[in-house]
Amino acid sequence: MRKIWMLLLTLILAVGLVTGCTAEVAATDVEAVENEIVNIYTDRHYDSDDALYELFTEETGIKVNVVKGKSDELIERLKNEGEDTEADMIVLADVGRLQRSKDLDLLQSAESTIIDENVPENLRDDENYWVALTKRARVLVYSKDRVDSSELSSYQALTEEKWNGKILVRTSDNIYNQSLVSSFVELYGQEATEDWISGLVANFAREPKGNDRDQAKAIAAGEGDIAIMNTYYLGLMLNSSDSEEVKVAESVGVFFPNQDVDGTHVNVSGAGVVKYADHVDNAVKLIEFLTSESAQRSYSEANYEYPVNPMVEPSELLKSWGTFKEQPIKMSSIGKNVEDVLKIMIQNGWK
């Protein structure tokens, strides 16, 4: 009988040890699975981006959870959430917003030799708080029927008398315009920039309103002859399911200004790792992936943006518009000026 009890006791202890080990392994597995995620806030609302996230998951096993919204709303959300945020990474349009996020202490520095190899230094924050994912050129779009492209030259030339009542553009509170003006302050100084704004305003065809697509539509409607627009909007319109948008886009041409001087203004969409991120390594891996050659090719071909990775050529549509020289300044310099330029724009009549 004693032997039987000893055997039972041994069996009970063995089962207990196995159960305990199994529970410990199970807990470890659950923790590992929970860590194989990355939560991002993004203002990019394109199907092509969702496809890239799915591909990243297939290649790495890291699930991408996406919250979409407008850039300023996402920045405000991060501010309000503070340490309680679940976001690991934020993707924003325009360097001005990326710089604002850094200044508000919402991001953290994240170093990666892979990112450094994929993205030139001028398209990265000096302290690695954010990095560009795509480039957008802010160009002159003109009526093919009413404007001879040989008459166009620079942003500054838009102040000439011959363009009186013919210039179309968004409002001064648009971040794309603020970054354009910020680049002027960096290159030419505040006084020359104010003179340019005053001359440009004097040639407005109408009070600024609408988005970039609306400027092209206003050209087609005969409200003005030249608009300041980001190139990718025109690409989206040319490939739109809306036949009217396609017709509008086909009626206008693209001109890269300032090629004989400092070059065309370029801005970016970009990403940063959130200060209180729980999955920093995964966020860095995702940025590395999004700046890789395959992902950069997708951005260019599917969304008509210029790649930041110098190893990737622009899409065929972008090539059809021609090559161009970019402004020789760092994105971070533009971002640092943006907060001050709205006052300059309003004071000089840009509503």
Does residue 138 sit in helix, strand or coil?
strand
Q: Which residue has the tokens 């693209």?
A: 254
Q: What is the pTM of this model?
A: 0.86
* Amino acid symbol at 41: Y
Average pLDDT, the chain: 91
pLDDT (tens digit, 9 = 90+) per residue, 298-327? 999 999 999 999 999 999 999 999 999 999
Does residue 346 sit in helix, strand or coil?
helix
pLDDT (tens digit, 9 = 90+) per residue, 264-279? 999 999 999 999 999 9
Residues 6+ apart with CB under 8 A from 277: 87, 88, 89, 108, 283
Residue 241 is classified by DSSP as: S
Radius of gyration of the chain (CA): 26
Kindly report the CATH class assigned to 35-135+268-315: alpha beta
Residues 6+ apart with CB under 8 A from 349: 197, 198, 201, 202
pLDDT (tens digit, 9 = 90+) per residue, 196-233? 999 999 999 999 999 999 999 999 999 999 999 999 99
C-alpha separations of 48 from 121, 298, 300, 303, 308 in Å? 26, 7, 10, 7, 17
The pLDDT value recorded for residue 34 is: 54
Task: Report, at the CATH architecture level, how domain 137-265+330-347 is classified.
Answer: 3-Layer(aba) Sandwich (3.40)
d(CA 141, CA 251): 10
d(CA 89, CA 66): 10
The pLDDT value recorded for residue 336 is: 82
- Beta bridge partner(s), residue 140: 228, 255
pLDDT (tens digit, 9 = 90+) per residue, 125-144? 999 999 999 999 999 999 99
